[in-house]
Amino acid sequence: MSIFINLAIVSGFALNGLLQLGLGIKMVPAKMKFSSLNFWLPPLAMLITAPLSWVIRRYIFSFLGFGFMEVFLLFPISALISLGIGNLLAHDEKGPSTKGLSAYDGLVFAVSFITIRWALRFSEALVIALSFSLSYVLVSILVTEIHKRSVYESVPSFLQGRPLVLISMALLSLVFAFISVALLSAAGHP
Residue numbers of the site for other proteins (CB under 8 A)? 20-23, 25-26, 68-69, 71-76, 79-80, 83, 96, 98, 101-103, 105-106, 109-110, 113, 156, 158-159, 162-167, 169-171, 173-174, 177
Closer to other proteins at the Cβ: 126 or 155?
155
Whole-number minimum distance, CB 3 to other proteins, in Å? 28
Side-chain-side CA neighbours of residue 125 (13 Å): 20
Closer to other proteins at the Cβ: 21 or 126?
21
Please count the other Cβ atoms lying within 10 Å of the Cβ belonging to residue 182: 11
Whole-number minimum distance, CB 78 to other proteins, in Å? 9
> Is residue 140 within 8 Å of residue 39, measured between CB atoms?
yes
Closer to other proteins at the Cβ: 101 or 182?
101
The Cα–Cα gap between 111 and 109 comes to: 6
Whole-number minimum distance, CB 79 to other proteins, in Å? 5
Whole-number minimum distance, CB 44 to other proteins, in Å? 19
92: helix, coil or strand? strand
Closer to other proteins at the Cβ: 34 or 68?
68
| Residue 23 CA, distance from chain mean position | 7
What's phi and psi for 95, nearest 5 deg?
150, -170
Rounded to a whole number, what is the distance in angstroms from the first to the last CA of the chain?
A: 21
Whole-number minimum distance, CB 35 to other proteins, in Å? 26
Closer to other proteins at the Cβ: 58 or 162?
162
| Residue 65 CA, distance from chain mean position | 28
